[in-house]
Amino acid sequence: GYAGLERSRLGLDGAPEWPRLQAMLPPVEGLRVADLGCGYGWFCRWARQAGAARVLGLDLSRRMLDAARARTEGEGITYVEGDLAALALPEARFDLVFSSLAFHYVADFGRLLAAIRQGLAPGGRLVFSIEHPLLMAPRAPGWRREADGRLTWPVDAYLEEGPRETHWFVPGVVKHHRSLATTLNSLVGAGFALARLEEFGPSAEQVASRPEWAKERERPLFLLVSAAAL
Amino acid sequence: GYAGLERSRLGLDGAPEWPRLQAMLPPVEGLRVADLGCGYGWFCRWARQAGAARVLGLDLSRRMLDAARARTEGEGITYVEGDLAALALPEARFDLVFSSLAFHYVADFGRLLAAIRQGLAPGGRLVFSIEHPLLMAPRAPGWRREADGRLTWPVDAYLEEGPRETHWFVPGVVKHHRSLATTLNSLVGAGFALARLEEFGPSAEQVASRPEWAKERERPLFLLVSAAAL
């Protein structure tokens, strides 16, 4: 199950994209931080240890929040149960909103971004990751071995945006495929300036230590975005 | 050959992405415009007719520039032979730099953007199209019919940026594959703010009138970008 995933067991160190995502963050010392879809709270604890003034961790799963609280010592982190689809943040109360691999479960991305924008103080940052749209787009996602030996990721339906039902530990999990253009135009439309975009695949060094990751350089795995509130 | 292409014969009206690209332009009335890779000069003449103060058309091909001049009446458009790889524009002399399907032939995109940024007046715009990186990335680009009847575009080598040799009327044409992230981060790094991005495929209406275009909705065909000089 989900709890057995490397990133669930090992936290940030079990997520190969974390060093790249971390490099896209502003210095967190003194910042008021929100983590949308905080899961077991790994990022909340990292941010607090790195000097964040206070951290709000939001998640839909009470069970995960209970586990997050059990792993958290000291003051400064508040875990709250909540649905990103109905997010409402107090105005200008945060300097950094972070989210890892959660936004592709939200159908109305424009609404979500408006709520985040309202919660950010001027100059605040939004840093998030989602599955890359190339993973979500295909009607039947999967690798294929070509006759010439190449491993390819066949793409279709990229321009047909909307829900995609997949099997992710339980059947019937719905992700919302949006083109990269829609993701970025939604940000601009909500009052953000794009600061940096990464299409993450493992580095050559990471592949050297984990040869089974080699195929993840054939097409990007995650989209990492850093944007500034205007 | 190239001269027989619909977009070569019919100009802007023969390019299905033109309405979308046009919608990303600022009002051109009174603007000083440069068209990088102007070919037969279709955009130069459109901009001048739409009220541009003056237009510079730049292209590598003397033969195309001769044809462009032969089709151009009146004042206000200057055609100049030049290589985008060595572009140098006078400082802050333009309000709009436009380019259609030329930048993917340039190896050093950062150098090109720096030259464009220098040529733009503050608040100026850069609007351009390139082939979508999904077209350029694969080691053996092409469609495939799946066992279940779907038409897919198999992707590999997306994260391996660099030259791609293709056959485009003549063998050995070299395009430079850059990830979408690299394209956008290069813009931000050169002092531009992303205003709008489009991953172009034909609309449902366009497919209705040209059924052979239906597959072009399975993966985007062109990248259209509008950026503001900061």
Summarised one tens digit per residue, pLDDT across range A145-187 is 999 999 999 999 999 999 999 776 777 889 999 999 999 999 9
B62 vs chain A: nearest CA distance in angstroms? 36
Q: A156: nearest CA in chain B?
A: B218
**A125 CB-side CA count, 13 A:** 19
In a domain, B164, yes or no: no
In a domain, B155, yes or no: no
Q: B179: nearest CA in chain A?
A: A199
Summarised one tens digit per residue, pLDDT across range A70-102 is 999 999 999 999 999 999 999 999 999 999 999
DSSP one-letter code for A168: E
Whether A45 has a pLDDT exceeding 80, the answer reads yes
In a domain, B166, yes or no: no
The count of domains in chain B is: 1
**B128 CB-side CA count, 13 A:** 25
Partners of residue B199 in chain A, C-beta under 8 Å = 158-159, 179-181
Whether B145 has its CB under 8 Å from any CB of chain A: the answer is no
A190 vs chain B: nearest CA distance in angstroms? 12
In a domain, B171, yes or no: no
**A interface mutation test: which of B136, B151, B153 has the most A CBs within 10 A?**
B153
**Owning domain of residue B209:** 2-134+177-229
In a domain, A164, yes or no: no
In a domain, B127, yes or no: yes
In a domain, B15, yes or no: yes
Partners of residue A152 in chain B, C-beta under 8 Å = 138, 154-156
CATH number for the domain harbouring residue A80: 3.40.50.150
Whether B206 has its CB under 8 Å from any CB of chain A: the answer is no
Whether B169 has a pLDDT exceeding 80, the answer reads no
In a domain, A167, yes or no: no
